[in-house]
Amino acid sequence: MFGFKSFADKTEIEFTNGISALLGPNGCGKSNVVDAIKWVLGEQATRSLRAEKMEDIIFNGTEDRKALNVAEVTLTLENDEDLVQVDAPELSVKRRLFRSGESEYYLNNTPVKLKELRELFLDTGIGKSAYSIMEQGKIDQILSTKPEERRYIFEEAASITKYKVKGQEAERKLRRTDENIRQVESILSEVKRSYDSLEKQAGKTEQYHTLREQRFELERDLNLLKLRDYFEKKDKKTRNLEEVGKERNGIKTTIDSINEHLEENLDQVNTMENELNDSNKRLYGLTIEKSNLSSQLSMIHERVRELEDKIQQDKAQEHAINEKKSRLEKERDEKQKQIQDYTKRLTEVGENIDDFTQSIKTSEQRVSANEKEEKRLELENLDYDVQMSNLQQDLQHLTDDIVHELDEQLKKTSENMDEQKEARELLLESVQQLEKLISRQRQNYDDLASPADQGEAIAGILTRGLDELSEIHGTIAESFQRYSDAAPSFIEDFLAPEGIITRKREIDSRLLELRNNIENNRKLITGLAEENRSLQEKIREYRGTLQELLVNKERMKGQKDAVQSESDGIDQQINELDARILENRQKIAEDEGRLKGLEGRITELKKDKDELLKQESSLQKELQNLEKGISSRNKDLSKKEKELQKHMDQLGKVQARHETLQIELTEITTEMKNLYTNFRERYSRDLSEFEDSIYEIQHDTKTIREEIASVKDRLKSLGSVNLMAIEEFAEVKERFDFLNGQLEDLETAKNDLQEVTTQIRDESARLFLETYEQIKKNFHSMFRRLFGGGRGELKLTDPENVLESGIEIFAQPPGKKLENITLLSGGERSLTAVAMLFATYMVKPSPFCLLDEIDAALDESNVGRFINMLMEFANTSQFIVITHNKKTVAGASTLLGITMEESGVSKAVSIRLGTGETDETVRGYLDR
Ligand SMILES: Nc1ncnc2c1ncn2[C@@H]1O[C@H](COP(=O)(O)OP(=O)(O)OP(=O)(O)O)[C@@H](O)[C@H]1O
């Protein structure tokens, strides 16, 4: 197994002979082994495999393992006793299923179909529905309330499953054959209808074809008779034509000889006539040339006259022109004088204009200079205004400052008065002290007798006096400082050159100066404006005069130009007259040249004319000679022509006869051709095919026509004919014959099948009865052995109809009434089923048998009996028992443990019983 249900890994289990017990805890995968065997043998019912859909049998993973995509089970069986009819010692059946749904079966590694596999195991006791696999569910099936459902065990044991399958197949075939026969019969009856109708139509069509053939032959003969007629006519005409041809050739020969003679003479006459023609042409040419010369001469004379007239006219014209020219020259001189006058006047006016223009320009320059000066003065005044307003502002500030300073100084001065007073008093006091000191010092000095004797005392007095003096001096200096500090000095400050009052005075004088400036400027501006006004007035006047002068000048210019253009016009006319005089003179010279040329030409032409006159007289002589020769030859020719005409008339008649005959022959040929063509078109055959029999036709045209009419009547009386009827009938007939053949084959097959079915049924019934009787006997004894007494009975529900009859089981455990199995206990039911199983085994043991927990419901003593029985059969069959019962396990020769060491994944462990050690292992295992 690989990937089958919980057997994720590849697992191989070898079942030894005798009884093998499959052990293991709940859910470890024991029943999966049974499922695997059922599955590999072709089980299709997912319910029976305990799955919802077939895919569920593939290992679908655990917490630690991924699901697999394929499940595979191989069952290997010995084939020693020719279990199945395969020439091999071993039989290996393999089934594989992919998650995608693909399924494969192999027999000894060769792909096989499921049907082949099933057929192989029929009647071997192995198979999905046989008795080799006994599960709890199967027991229920054996003991089911429906007696018909148990039949399969008996049939398998009686080896009639195969027959049954064959019988079923034969019956299926029979039903199919019946169905086919019915279908063929219905088609046949339909085909028969068209068969009959087409058969009739085909007869009529054949008759139609015969008549058409007859008509064709008659019409063909009619055509052949016509053809014969044409052939005869054609021969006759051909002969006539030959004769007329000969006659025509004779006449033609005579005509040819006359023609030859005529041609010779005619050639001579022609040559002479040609010569005559040439001479005539030349003469004619000379006449034309002569007349040309005459007309040329008269034309030249005419031209000479014309030229002489023209020269005369031109000369007269020149004289007139010269007169007109001298008139014009006079007129032009007058105009020139006028022009000079105008030029002089124009120069004077121009000078006036220049003077005025200059005056206007000078005045304008002066006006603009004045305006500029006005502007400058105004700007200067503006600047003065600005300066004034700034100074007035400064003056305002200064006045404010003076008032403020004065306030301050006055305030300070009042404070200093006390200080001053104090300082003056101190000063007075010091002065008084000084006065005192001076008087004391004077006293001291007066008091001294001799200053030389009292030097030291004087020095002392002097020193002391000096000290007092310096002390008083310090006091006076200090007092004076205090006094002078307290004295008001701001007036001086105000009046100092950099003082505030000085500055005010400066501003005032500056303001006055500015005002004067502005006033002066204003006066100047007024003067300038006044001057400009008088200048403008003058300019206006100048301009008026200038305008007039300009107009005058223009008018004068116009007049001068007019006179000039008149004078130019006269010049132009004089020039033109000069040109005309020149042109006239040229013309006269040219005409005179031409006149000379023409006179030369007249001399030449007169010479040519004389030459022509000479040629003309010699040609006229030549012509007279030729005309004489021609008239003598022409007389001979007309005689011969008359002779020729006679023969030509004869030839015409013979030729006409010849042509008529040819036309007649062509007509006959055309008609024959038409006859062939019409025949081909009408009958699609060639009339020439039948020409060989043209002289074998016995009947005349009239008889043939009558026969054709009668055939036509008969064709008409046939009415409408299905032309395809013969082919259609052949087709239908083929189909009809084929279907008839098939029907016969089907009926033979049906008979054969019926016979086979009867044989199978008979044979099956015989075999079934035989086996049934044996199993019935065995069941009774097995029942007694398993139950330790009692009675077990089997009964056919319909003994008359053995092959459909159900089988009823009656069981009477020891000491109980014979009763229907539905009333038995679970254990009793298991035992009864086991009895049935063994009863069957006695008749036909299957090579192996799987028993899945069928001992579950049995008590200790019954398990014992069950085991004993199993051991008995273990010689003939291999038993694999799934059980939880220790007694059953003890009866087995091999123990097969299924574990789930890895959760969710089953694993097989095999333990063969025999040595004590192994027993220990088993015991340990069982204890676990
Ligand atoms: N497709 C599958 N993939 C993996 N595990 C599966 C699959 N199908 C069934 N199983 C597992 O197989 C186990 C059932 O095994 P089985 O019925 O053979 O047990 P058992 O040994 O006969 O148990 P018990 O003694 O109870 O009858 C369940 O645990 C189930 O999950």
Min mean pLDDT across 210-224, 464-478, 715-729, 748-762 is at 464-478
Token couple for 659: 């042509």
902 alpha carbon – ligand 1 mean position (Å) = 14
Show the 3-state SS of 627-688.
Answer: HHHHHHHHHHHHHHHHHHHHHHHHHHHHHHHHHHHHHHHHHHHHHHHHHHHHHHHHHCCCHH
Q: Show me where the domains of the chain are located.
A: 1-15+28-132+885-927
Atom of ligand 1 nearest to the CA of 33: 18
Give residue-wise pLDDT tens across range 379-397.
999 999 999 999 888 888 8
Pairing of strands 791-796, 70-78: unpaired
> Any idea how long the chain is?
928
pLDDT at position 915: 40
644 alpha carbon – ligand 1 mean position (Å) = 143
Average pLDDT over residues 65-71: 93
**Cβ(846)–Cβ(125) under 8 Å?**
yes
Give residue-wise pLDDT tens across range 276-312.
888 888 888 888 888 888 888 899 889 889 988 988 8
Name which residue sits closest to atom 29 of ligand 1, judged by CA: 27
Crossing angle of helices 455-486 and 161-447, rounded to 10°: 130
59: Cβ below 6 Å to ligand 1? Answer: yes
Name which residue sits closest to atom 17 of ligand 1, judged by CA: 31
Annotation-wise, does 814 bind a ligand?
no
DSSP secondary structure string for all residues of 724-753: THHHHHHHHHHHHHHHHHHHHHHHHHHHHH
The amino acid sitting at 28 is C
42: Cβ below 6 Å to ligand 1? Answer: no
Atom of ligand 1 nearest to the CA of 59: 3
pLDDT at residue 450 tops 70: no
29: Cβ below 6 Å to ligand 1? Answer: yes
Percent of the chain residues past pLDDT 90, beyond the cut: 26
Report angle CA 751, 753, 756 to the nearest 5 degrees: 115
pLDDT at position 454: 61
Atom of ligand 1 nearest to the CA of 28: 21
Min mean pLDDT across 249-258, 530-539, 916-925 is at 916-925
Annotation-wise, does 30 bind a ligand?
yes
Q: What is the ipTM of this complex?
A: 0.95
Q: 918 falls in which pLDDT band (50, 70, 90)? A: very low
Name which residue sits closest to atom 3 of ligand 1, judged by CA: 59
Q: 122 falls in which pLDDT band (50, 70, 90)? A: confident
CATH code for the structural domain at 1-15+28-132+885-927 = 3.40.50.300
Find the helix or strand (DSSP H, E) in which 200 lies.
helix 161-447
Give residue-wise pLDDT tens across range 852-910.
888 888 888 888 888 888 888 888 888 899 988 888 888 888 888 898 888 899 998 87
Rounded to the nearest 5°, which phi and psi values hold at 754? -60, -40
Strand partners, 21: 881, 895
